[in-house]
Every structure is written in structure tokens, then in C-alpha cells.
């Protein structure tokens, strides 16, 4: 709006949902592309800019845009083309596209590039502004002593530009369908396991190429973030693969992953790569050895500590210094919600261990214990600083829909008093 691509009326007339506390993804999806397309068409970046936007005043803007397209072409060209074709195909999964497009037949791809050139440029425009705004935000944060931790999943989605443009990286058949998919086996939480459905990497191929695709992927992450948390770290030691088409994860098997070889390659890259290994769940001796060999800090979650039946590695007196402690993660209840719901014996143990005398102040007591621990880093979800209940929980693993990934802060929740309290606790326990 400040640049003149959208008017105040354009934005005021957009309905992004009725409840500010929860993201309405469906409504935003319907509204945002129309607004972004209007901004693109009414800008100097359009394929054929109109009026004042076509003038020489904006030549430097266009040059900067073209430089971005060139610098990011290793991923942006495929992503923008994939997105444009997917839109033209009504949003269908790429496996349902006409065969010539699905298998990237040269003539069909060149034709799509010509016919969808404006749509392709529109997706490049979105990425250009996202990257520009993100890097401005990151620079601002870093100048003020704030570092950003970014999360990278081990897998990519099947219906993605990665799978479509680089089928050689994955275990796919000659028609492009997966032969096996990712998940995890049956356990106490799920009798049939978890069927994630992501394509599995062809790790032998990755090793032959010195993990070139992974090195590029991680390098981009380190450009966007100061620290990278690698999700499902166990999958690099051993991963669980399930025959494609199975309705559950029950018939899967564990297969040896790339192990340390990938991280040895990463350590050859210039720069200090700061990584957090998401090593939660059942850990085999080989996973523990891999985490230790990489030197990356693992994760400790306080909510996992207070099983009154057994001693736990998640209890703070068992922590090594090289770890990151959380009261809870995005997959947990809020600390307040957990304390209300936990069984009587575990609550009694937690109350004794942490020294809780007032239930209303239980969450603060858990935060204090995390800050007092020897863990190099302590991370407290904002919901716990605000002492919110499970209405503010981020995610319920193995479930779809509901309010998963929808909670957000609203104006007024972050107060000067809260900032002072966080600062005081940070100073008190030497975490400045």
C-alpha cells in the first residue's frame, strides 16, 4: 500500500476472518491471491506494466527484480513454473496433470513457459517481496540482539516442486508415483502408526552427488535463519518407510539412513552452522551416537520429565550443558493446560520437584526451573509466558483440522510488565 500497488480501500474490503485469535486459512487463501495479483498488475514488476509504472523512474526496481530472479534461479524457476501450472490445472496434484507436463517433456515445458509467462512472473514477484521483507525483518532483529531459529522438516511434500522437478532424488516408479512413503510405526499413541505420505529420499544417489541438493537446501536455511532446528533427526540414522498405497503404517520397516556422511559434508561448507537436533521420542543407541558425533545440541522438554514411575533424561538434573530446554513445544499442550490435565501422581512429583506452592503460579515455576538448568539455551513458548490454557495450543500430532496451527497473538498481550519480567528472569539466571 505504501508503494502504491494497493489502495487502502483494497485492503479494507478484504475479509481475512472474523476471529483475531485464530488464523482462518481457508478465508485467507481465497482472499490473498486476488490482492497479491492486483498488487502485481499495478506495479512496475508486471510483465507489461501500465501507465506510470512503465516509465524509466522504475527501471532500477525492475533491474533489482531481474537480479533476484537470476540469483535464485536454481530453485525459483522450477517453483514458479510448478505453481503456475498447478494454478492452471485447477490446483490438482501434479501426478494428475497431463503426462507430458507430469514427466516434464521438454516441448510441453517450453510451451507452458510461453503460455504462462505472466503467471510465472506473478509467483516470482511474490517470492521477491517475501525475501526482501524477510531479510529486512531479520536484519532488524539481529541489530537488536535477537536471533531467529528456523525449523526445517526432514521431508518435502509429494505434491511439491521439489518432487516434480527432481524425481531422481526420491524413490519413485517410472510413472512418478512413490514406491514407499514416510511415517512412523504403531506405538502407545497410535495403534496403526502414522502415515505421513512424504516421498522417501534415494539416499544412495544423494551420497553420490555429495548431498548437493541437501547442501543447497541447508545453505538457503542458514541465509534465512541464524540457527536451524532439524525436525525428525532420527530419520538421518534410520527412517521408517511404508509401501505406497497402504492405508496404515503397520506394514512399514526401518531402513538405514545416510548417518554422519551428510553432516560431514555440511561441516566442509564455510561458516559456523548452528543446528539444533530434534531428537525427541524413542532413541536407539545409534541415534544417540549420531547426535553426539555431530556435536549438535539435542532437545529437552520439561513436560516429558515428570513420569513418576521412572527416572527421566528430561529431568533438569540429568541435562548435559549442550542441549536446549523447552517447557513444551508446538506439539505439546501449553504448560498451564498440561498441569491441569496431568495425572495425580505425575502432578504430585512435578509439584515436589519444581517447588510449586500455588497452582496459579505453576507455569512460572516451570519456566524458572528451565532457566535455572545448565542447558545452554532455554526456549519458552509465548503461550507459557502468557499462562494460557490449551485453547492456545499450536498442534495436536496425528490429527487434522480443528484449531491446529491457528493460534496467534493479538494486540495488547505483549505488555511492558511482561517484558520486564522476562528480562528480570533472564538476568537472574545468567542468560543475558
Residues carrying an active site annotation: 231, 278, 331
C-alpha to C-alpha distance for 67 and 65, rounded to whole angstroms: 5
C-alpha to C-alpha distance for 264 and 255, rounded to whole angstroms: 20
C-alpha to C-alpha distance for 125 and 141, rounded to whole angstroms: 24
182 pairs with which residues across the strands? 241
Residue 316, CA distances (Å) to 311, 322, 376, 430 in order: 11, 13, 12, 16
Q: Which residue has the cell 501434479?
A: 94
C-alpha to C-alpha distance for 386 and 401, rounded to whole angstroms: 25
Please report which residue ranges of 235-334 form alpha helices under DSSP H: 260-268, 285-294
Give the chain's count of helices (H) and strands (E). 17, 10
Grid coordinates in use for 188?
502407545
Grid coordinates in use for 242?
511404508
C-alpha to C-alpha distance for 78 and 213, rounded to whole angstroms: 14
Question: In sequence order, which residues have a C-beta less than 8 Å from that of residue 229 and are 6 or more positions away?
Answer: 149, 150, 151, 152, 275, 276, 278
Residue 148 φ then ψ, to 5°: -110, 130
Residue 10, CA distances (Å) to 39, 215, 233, 309 in order: 10, 41, 44, 59
Asked if 255 and 239 touch (Cβ cutoff 8 Å), the reply is yes
Amino acid at each position: 500500500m505504501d508503494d502504491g500497488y494497493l489502495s487502502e480501500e483494497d485492503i479494507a474490503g478484504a475479509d481475512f476472518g472474523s476471529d483475531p485469535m485464530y488464523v482462518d486459512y481457508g478465508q485467507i487463501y481465497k482472499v490473498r491471491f486476488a490482492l497479491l495479483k492486483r498488487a502485481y498488475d499495478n506495479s512496475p514488476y508486471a510483465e507489461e506494466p501500465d501507465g506510470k509504472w512503465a516509465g524509466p523512474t522504475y527501471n532500477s526496481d525492475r533491474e533489482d527484480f531481474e537480479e533476484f530472479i537470476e540469483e535464485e534461479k536454481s530453485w525459483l524457476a522450477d517453483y514458479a513454473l510448478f505453481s503456475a501450472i498447478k494454478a492452471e490445472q485447477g490446483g490438482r496434484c501434479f501426478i494428475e496433470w497431463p503426462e507430458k507436463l507430469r514427466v516434464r517433456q521438454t516441448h510441453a515445458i517450453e510451451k507452458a513457459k510461453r503460455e504462462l509467462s505472466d503467471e510465472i512472473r506473478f509467483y516470482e514477484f511474490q517470492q521477491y517481496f517475501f525475501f526482501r521483507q524477510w531479510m529486512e525483518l531479520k536484519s532488524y532483529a539481529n541489530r537488536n540482539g535477537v536471533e531467529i531459529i528456523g525449523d526445517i522438516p526432514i521431508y518435502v511434500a509429494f505434491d511439491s516442486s521439489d518432487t516434480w522437478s527432481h524425481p531422481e532424488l526420491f524413490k519413485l516408479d517410472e510413472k512418478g508415483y512413490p514406491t514407499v512413503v514416510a511415517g512412523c510405526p504403531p506405538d502407545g499413541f497410535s495403534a496403526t502408526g502414522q502415515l505421513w505420505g512424504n516421498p522417501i529420499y534415494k539416499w544412495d544417489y544423494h551420497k553420490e552427488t555429495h548431498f548437493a541438493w541437501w547442501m543447497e537446501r541447508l545453505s538457503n536455511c542458514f541465509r534465512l535463519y541464524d540457527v536451524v532446528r532439524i525436525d525428525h533427526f532420527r530419520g538421518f540414522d534410520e527412517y521408517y518407510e511404508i509401501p505406497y498405497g497402504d492405508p496404515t503404517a503397520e506394514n512399514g520397516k526401518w531402513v538405514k539412513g545416510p548417518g554422519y556422511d551428510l553432516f560431514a559434508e555440511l561441516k566442509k561448507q564455510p561458516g559456523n552452522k548452528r543446528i539444533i537436533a530434534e531428537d525427541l521420542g524413542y532413541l536407539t543407541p545409534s541415534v544417540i551416537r549420531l547426535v553426539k558425533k555431530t556435536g549438535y545440541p539435542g532437545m529437552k522438554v520439561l513436560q516429558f520429565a515428570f513420569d513418576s514411575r521412572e527416572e527421566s533424561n528430561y529431568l533438569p538434573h540429568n541435562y548435559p550443558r549442550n542441549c536446549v530446554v523447552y517447557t513444551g513445544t508446538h506439539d505439546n499442550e501449553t504448560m498451564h493446560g498440561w498441569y491441569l490435565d496431568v495425572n495425580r501422581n505425575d502432578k504430585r512429583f512435578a509439584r515436589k520437584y519444581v517447588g510449586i506452592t500455588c497452582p496459579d503460579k505453576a507455569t512460572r515455576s516451570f519456566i524458572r526451573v528451565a532457566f535455572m538448568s545448565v542447558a545452554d539455551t532455554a526456549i519458552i513458548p509465548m503461550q507459557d509466558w502468557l499462562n494460557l490454557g490449551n485453547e492456545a495450543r499450536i498442534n495436536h500430532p496425528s490429527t487434522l483440522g480443528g484449531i491446529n496451527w491457528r493460534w496467534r497473538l493479538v494486540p495488547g498481550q505483549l505488555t511492558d510488565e511482561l517484558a520486564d519480567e522476562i528480562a528480570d528472569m533472564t538476568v537472574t539466571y545468567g542468560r543475558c
